[in-house]
Structure 1
Amino acid sequence: MKKKLIPLIFACILLFSGCTNGSGEKNNFNVSGNVAKTQGESRVLTLSMRVPETLNPLRNREATVDTVLKLIYQPLIAFDEAGKPSPSIAKSWSYSKDGSTLSLELRNDITWQNGSSLTADDVAFSIETIRGSADDSVYKKVLDYVSSYSKTGQYSIDIHFREPFSKSVAALNFPVVSAAYYQGQTDPKSGANMSPMGSGPYSMKSYSIASEMILTANPTYIEGKPKIETISVRTTGGAETDVYAFDQGMTDILVTDAIETGRYADEGVTGVHQFTSNQYDFIGFNFHRSLFQDRNMRQVVAYALPKKSICENVYLQYAKIAYTPVSPSSWLYEENVAPFDYDTNMATTLLKNAGWTDKNGDGRLEKENEPESLHVSILTNQENSARRQTATKLRDELTLLGFDVTLEILPFAQYQEKFTGGDYDLIVGGWQMSPVTDLYDFFGSNGSLNYIGYHDEQMDNLLLAANQAVGEGATLLAYSSLQKRIAEELPYISIAFRSKAMFVSNRVGGVIIPTEDNIFHSVNQWTFESKKE
């Protein structure tokens, strides 16, 4: 069954991520021989994707196809390297006084690859196309925020939102398609929908079904014609096939968890380009247990967690230590928060102050008139090596402090069931965060993903203020206050945001700056390294 993309364009539906394994499909690569070195293709950049159901980016449901289509289409609003909304088709924007409407001014010098101008009609048509797409299409969740639109000129449009939301502008990171070209093309497999025509750095020259797509550099691309003239995109059967193809020199690019770096560090790789992913790892508390309703006890666990050691020995330094659920690479990250770094002396002091002592000398702490012993269970899933190691390290540290600890390492389905059902004490888990993250879902009293059972009126107010802030300055200030409260309250102990790596064959050079949103962020500046061909 084809793996569908879980959209990363929205706030409320986020993936509670499990194992990091591939799809299990092997050596399904539709290539004969070494693509990069045969038939005069030494100057062809070779990529891979799954077999597409459609090549219309707004009707597409598959992640790798979406990645490749970013080479052909431009977004209405882009993200920069810090995840901050930045100009693309829209060159500027401003909010209405109540924050419910965003007025966008479009560039007037963008042309489609057939020579016609890109206008506000195309933006309006793109929103309507999203509205008519399948529920699991990549950009469908844009409509969770956008209620309507009104064209105000040939190159201007107002986007009306259902309610003021500080990250509504980030939700407009969807590709714009041509109204004239796609008008009436409702079948995802129609001629136009299988023959993409965009305004991005590349245009499609040809496509052989379930085999190969050929792209050529677009000379009218607004950021400048790409230096690499031709791209071949081959269809593959799954993630393991992508690995095989890269290992065999059949493709030039592989993106994977950065911890896998050593596997590909050979003479065939010229660069490993790391970037911070949206994969956030944490330790969560069960607030239905009275022990962890005491903030001091949550601090004890935080002081017992050796984050630096975990980053070095578990993540192999391919992660960024975090103190809040906002990425340290994000423009919204607040670094001046209470850290509660590893300090067993502070942990011991807090335990003594709370009345926990080893009265009988058995190495376990007891508390007078306390019906609940200092016993905790730590839950994690067996498929994820980093979580298993983190849970084991935390168990060892808490045991040294006098806790009686049980470690529950379960298959993902059972692990997820226990977490969502509140059947645990501590959990080592992770979320695939969205560029449009609504943190209320995690920590708000009525949050849909608040499986830990956390309730705090001040936090609720800060969460709502962060959601409703309008404008860059107000949003930064609101998220700063929110993160300080999260770090102080410790509903989660933030561990890290994992790194991804883009491995590049030794034929490719230039300015390579992949981002979580778009690994081809700087593709028009990529080159071939002639000395290595």
Structure 2
Amino acid sequence: MTHDDDTPSRLTRRAVLATLGVGATSGCIRSIQSTAGRDTADQLALSVKTLPADADPRATRIARFLVTNLNQVGIDAKVVPMSREELFRDVLLNQSFDVYVAQHPGSHDPDFLRPLTHSAFDVEIGWSNPFGYADLELDDLLDRQTRVTSDRRDKTLDTIQQKLVRNQPFSTVCFPETIRSTRDGRFVGRDDLPVHSVPWYLSLTEQATGEAVDTDSSTVNTQTPSANTTAVETTTAETPDESEPTVFQMTLSDSRPTENLNPLAVEFRCPDSVTSLLYDAPARYVDGDVVPWLAESIELVTEGDGNELVGYLRLREDLTWHDGTSLTAEDVAFTFAFLQDTSFGSSSTPVPSPRFRELTSLVDSAEATSDREVRLEFGRVSEPVAERVFTVPVLPEHIWTNQTGRAMGSSLNTDSNVTKALVWNNPNPVGSGPFEFVSSTVKQSVVLEPFEDHFLAGGSVDGRAGEFHVPTFDQLVFKLVPSSGAAVELLQRGEADATASPLLPEEVSTIGQDDSLALHVAESNQFYHVGYNVRRAPLSNPRFRRAIAGLVDKGHLVDDVFRGYASPASSPLGSDGDAVPPALHWDQTDPELPFHGSNGELDVDAAREVFRDLGYRYTEDGRLLSG
């Protein structure tokens, strides 16, 4: 019999070794105490890694709330703040942590749970099972949901969520809403599209001189489709000068794009990344739908015995890279092979890209059958899951083949080889996207310009991609600002046109009081969570993780930290709706692990009793002993 956190018999070598290191603690703590000297036990200690307050004050406050309560139940806990790249290196690449608090990038499809928690991905890096979680029954469920459809998939996903919530390899806290602002003026964009998304940039249209723009800045855009537009003023709009370039300026509070533009560098990337403007994909998400983009057409058919899915992709004509080289089907086939093994066969074992692993792991093979056509074999994968694979950005073969060698002196402490492709900062990126790279200054700015040879710049385009166009301004500049408040101040002064990085709720009232600014609030599939390194005792014990989860008052944090601009949740798929089983719907409190207390105040006695029930004991002065 295989229990939820027992070591399964079919794990990879690394997973087995990792589990052996902590497996003795997977059961009751009392069995440990019989072999440990009671008089020599130390106080249990945990570190909670997260971002500093100037980078993400919400993550910092969640971590502090948790650490305060850990201290109250007798655990010697401390917050360890670190930069984004340092945090994600420790968590996603080196697995060097006890507990962390961060925001998961989320996904358009629940299949992201497969690489996030499947034991087969424990040997990899990135958001591929950073917790070291292993459960054969869950593995089977995660594999099954990629094959089945309709009600069968819904039921499988319900079971997956209930199993994850029960065992808590990570604890979902909440889904924050994204808050952004734009300034009224010369350019207008579709406000049924998320600000800073690629389609939004490609909907920006210059207004004729003197043309009135009807924009109600007090209206909150919740990303529901409408015919309205959002007016945005370029910094040169007030005093047009034909000799000066027209600059469209975005504020950015995350310095990472100014330091690294490698689309594969997981510690430097976020979902709404600047790199998505530089690198195009065969298909893009528009209003939640997968829309052919570089591809003229995409077809999925079942072949063979009826269980194997095959995809046929046909590229548009005359596609080029930013350096003028032709983009062909060979680049697409190369991309899928390369992302599955960035060493391109030069290493004894494959070195996959951790970013996009959720998608590339579904592809068995990709072959260019002509200059414009690619054939992809998926095996036993359902069409709704497979179609998302086409959103993987295409990489130029003539650039990335030079990055297949082993990276020497890498800061990554992994069991696998690390290739140059995963650590290269890509200082002069060459893509095929609607914008091309001009320059960057570390911790100051990134400058792009519209790509004149992009397929959207050449006239009418068939399909939904034809709704968009390459904008007419000369430059797109991302300017680094120190804070959310500084971003709004630049908007008010007319020195910025919109905010790329989300704003804090504290800025909403300021935006609402300024008639020149528009407020945009959208739901997000990203979520804050508390992650546990289950390779380490006592975090290897699901009951211990559940005890920690009961110290987090999610409802209070949403009200206090997010000022209501978030939804508390138990499941990584949300707090309610069709994607979440009714048993996990949020109803005033966590349906699985309610907080031990109320209104943010911990009932210390009740919380300590949970740890006593686990077999732990306390000293007279209230310290929780580790053994």
**What TM-score comes out, normalization by structure 1 length?**
0.47
Structure 2 length-normalised TM: 0.41
